[in-house]
């Protein structure tokens, strides 16, 4: 049977998942880092793309060409727009759209998670003091937005990759699902504007970040909170993903 393809942007997200399973082995996936493992009789192939739409698209294309997955899953951390989503809560997105220069693109539907998978993920999160939500993934270049800009979307979350993966999935006719955990939001915002410290290819620029810190020294202390919250989110989404795939 064809494998399930899993795509994470950051090593932190991939490592959190690999820490939840046994027997994962590194594999070569073109220019990307990959791992293969078995979960409840299913072969899963994990690829770490790097941040941004372009890298996510290239990773998805590589995964499709090299392992021919029957299903793709975009997972990792994200930012909340609404204050009712707490740090570590997990969102199963029903659709994804792009937010670019203040313009919201047409939403693309995502493959729904089966009810047993939802229930299993919810139970696993409850044991960790977190909740499971249905929502909308909004892929953006990193600029934070006000809640009103996203209109009547159901629990919108901000991330940087899923639209790129969705483009490949649509071209190849492969179902795509999404699972994201909250690492920041209105009550615990990112202490700097991502758009100001990253280049057009979603690479963090140390010089830009240093200038931001010089202008706003409190960023150093706030960044410690972000690191802790990102760790919580990465671990929670990994636990929820394993639970969902085990059903």
pLDDT at 7 over 80: yes
pTM value > 0.85: yes
Which residues, other chains included, contact 223 with Cβ-Cβ below 8 Å and sequence gap of 6+?
191
Cα–Cα distances in Å, from 103 out to 53, 106, 144?
16, 10, 13
Task: Please report, rounded to a whole number, the percentage of residues in the chain having pLDDT higher than 90.
Answer: 67
Domains of the chain (ranges; CATH) run: 4-188+228-245 (3.40.50.1580)
Contact call for residues 182 and 157 (beta carbons, < 8 A): yes
pLDDT of residue 125: 98
pLDDT at 80 over 60: yes
Q: What is the CB neighbour count within 10 angstroms for residue 123?
A: 12
Q: Considering only 19-23, 88-92, 203-207, which range has the smallest mean pLDDT?
A: 203-207
d(CA 136, CA 108): 10
Burial pattern 175-211, b for ≥16 Cβ within 10 A else e, equals ebbbbbbbbbbeebebbbebeebbeeebeeeeeebee
Rounded to 5, what percent of the chain is helix, strand, coil? 35, 30, 30
> Of 77, 116, 132, nearest to 246 (Cα)?
116
Per-residue pLDDT tens digits for 101-130: 778 888 999 999 999 999 999 999 999 999
Q: What average pLDDT does the chain have?
A: 87
Q: Could you give the count of Cα atoms lying within 13 Å of 95 in the half-sphere of its Cβ?
A: 12
d(CA 148, CA 144): 12
Q: What confidence category does residue 227 fall into, taking pLDDT thresholds of 50, 70 and 90? A: confident
pLDDT at 196 over 70: no
Q: Which of the 8 DSSP states describes residue 200?
A: T
- Dihedral-angle region of residue 139 (phi above 0 means left; psi in -120 to 50 means alpha; beta otherwise): beta
pLDDT at 83 over 80: yes
Choice between 210 and 175, residue whose per-residue pLDDT is larger: 175
Q: Considering only 10-14, 33-37, 85-89, 151-155, which range has the smallest mean pLDDT?
A: 151-155
H helix intervals, 33-75 = 53-67
């Amino acid at each position: 049977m064809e494998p399930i393809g899993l795509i994470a942007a950051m090593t932190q997200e991939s490592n959190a998942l690999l820490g939840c399973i046994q027997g994962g082995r590194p594999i070569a996936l073109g220019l990307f880092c990959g791992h293969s493992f078995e979960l409840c009789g299913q072969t899963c192939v994990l690829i770490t793309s790097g941040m941004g739409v372009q890298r996510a698209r290239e990773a998805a294309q590589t995964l499709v060409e090299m392992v021919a997955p029957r299903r793709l899953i975009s997972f990792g951390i994200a930012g909340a727009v609404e204050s009712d989503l707490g740090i570590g809560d997990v969102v199963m997105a029903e659709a994804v759209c792009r937010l670019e220069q203040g313009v919201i693109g047409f939403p693309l539907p995502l493959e729904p998670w089966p009810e047993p998978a939802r229930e299993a993920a919810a139970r696993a999160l409850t044991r960790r003091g977190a909740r499971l939500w249905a929502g909308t993934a909004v892929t953006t270049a990193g600029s934070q937005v006000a809640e009103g800009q996203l209109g009547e979307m159901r629990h919108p979350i901000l991330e940087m990759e899923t639209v790129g993966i969705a483009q490949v999935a649509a071209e190849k006719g492969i179902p795509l699902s999404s699972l994201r955990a909250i690492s920041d939001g209105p009550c615990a915002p990112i202490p700097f504007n991502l758009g100001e410290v990253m280049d057009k290819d979603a690479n963090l620029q140390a010089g830009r970040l240093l200038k931001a810190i010089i202008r706003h020294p409190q960023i150093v202390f706030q960044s410690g909170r972000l690191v802790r919250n990102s760790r919580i989110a990465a671990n929670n989404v990994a636990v929820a993903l394993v639970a969902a795939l085990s059903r």
